[in-house]
Amino acid sequence: MKSLALLFAAAGLVAVGVTGAAAQMGRPMAMGYDKTKEVTVTGTVEAVTPQQGMRGMGGTHLTLVVGAEKLDVHVGPTPWLADKKYEFAVGDQLTIVGSRQMIDKVDSLIAREIDKGGTKMSLRDENGRPLWAGGMRGR
């Protein structure tokens, strides 16, 4: 019981440290989403790539061709996308609203909303908070 209390205390300190570190780096707490860099792009999916994410949760990335550019689109956790029946394939035409930024020296887009053939897929709220996070589950 005592070790369980210590474990929770340590987890709390880590959470406070991560929150403070993110704030010091100027990153919003919506997992890197910067509303001031929000754009809307339309393009064609060139690749659908699973990525190993934080805490072992795999994420789905898309390579989106927009004119002469290619963007690495950060979509969301693969299991959550599967639960929502959000699927992507090479050749899909998508319009994506997201936060465009350089991530690990790669031109990237953190997707907030994806329109695929008139079907809108919401991934984050208006402030960039992931819908798969915390109390937003199941939305």
Q: Please give the structure tokens belonging to residue 119.
A: 């079907």
Full-model pTM: 0.74
pLDDT computed for residue 133 by the predictor: 86
Phi-psi sector, 34: left (phi>0), alpha (psi -120 to 50), beta: beta
Contact between 18 and 65 (Cβ < 8 Å): no
Residue 138 predicted with pLDDT over 50: no
Q: Which fold has domain 35-136?
A: OB fold (Dihydrolipoamide Acetyltransferase, E2P) (2.40.50)
Nearest by Cα to 111 from 67, 58, 71: 71
Residues 89-126 have pLDDT tens digits of 999 999 999 999 998 999 999 999 999 999 999 999 99
Nearest by Cα to 66 from 96, 104, 99: 96
Q: What is the mean pLDDT of the chain?
A: 80
